[in-house]
Amino acid sequence: MNRTAVAIRHLAFEGIGSFEPVLRDGGYRFRYHDVGLDGFERLDGEDPDLMIVLGGPIGAYEDVKYPFLKDEIALIERRLQSGRPIIGICLGAQLMARAMGARVYPGPVKEIGFAPLTLTRAGRASCVQAFAGHEVLHWHGDIVDLPAGAECMASTDACPVQAFSYGSRAIGFQFHPEAGMADFERWLIGHTIEITAAGLDVPTLRNEHRRLATGLAARGASCLESWLQGIA
C-alpha cells in the first residue's frame, strides 16, 4: 500500500535532499507544499502519513511580517496532538517548538557551516547516532528552548538544542540532516546576503561541502531510515 508524504517548503531551493531517495524506496508518494503559493487549508483535509516541515530564512516568531505562520503553527499543533509522524528541520523545528509552547529567539551567533554535534545519551540511542563524530551542516541564527515533554538529543556550544524528540513520532532538527545533495550551489546563491553579512567565504563553504557531501548524504539517509523504522 502506498504511503504519502508532504514537505512544507518555504524556499524553492531548500528541499528534502538526501531524504528523497529514502522516501521513494520506502514506497511513499511524495509532494511539496509551497508556502506562499499553496494554502494550508489543503493540508487540513489531506492528512499525509508523514509531514516534513522544512527550513527558511525567516523567524518562527515573525507573525506580523508573515501572517501565514499562525496557520502553519496551528497545523503543526494539530499534527502533534494527533500523534501522526512529523519531522521539523531548522525553521520547521522552531515552528514545532512554538507549537509546543517553547520560546524561539536569536542565538548568540549565527551558525553557518560545517561542524560536529555533541550527542546526549538519548541522542546516542536514537536515529541521531548516525551523525556521531561527524560534521553536519548548520545554517541558522535562532535557537529554541527545549519544549515541555520533549527530549534533547544533540547540542553545540552555540545551540543547546540541536535536535529534540517528542515521543517516537515527532522529531526536530536545528541542523540540516538532509544535506549532502548536489543542489548546495543553490544555497550559496540564494543565501549570498546572509553569507556575506556573517563574514563567511563562499568558495570555502563550497569546498567544504564537496569534501563532506557523500558522507553527509549517506548519514542523512541512514538517520531517516532509522527513524522511519522506529515509527513503523
Catalytic residue positions?
Answer: 90, 176, 178
Which of 96, 100, 111, 99 is closest to 171 using CA atoms? Answer: 96
CA dist., res. 170 & res. 196, Å (int): 34
CA dist., res. 22 & res. 123, Å (int): 21
Task: Return the SS3 of 111.
Answer: strand
- Identify the helix (H) or strand (E) that includes residue 3: strand 3-9
CA dist., res. 123 & res. 86, Å (int): 18
- Report residue 66 as a C-alpha cell: 508573515
| Number of alpha carbons in the 13 Å side-chain half-sphere of residue 101 | 5
* CB neighbours of residue 133 within 10 Å: 8
Interior angle at CA 164, CA 81 and CA 199, nearest 5: 125
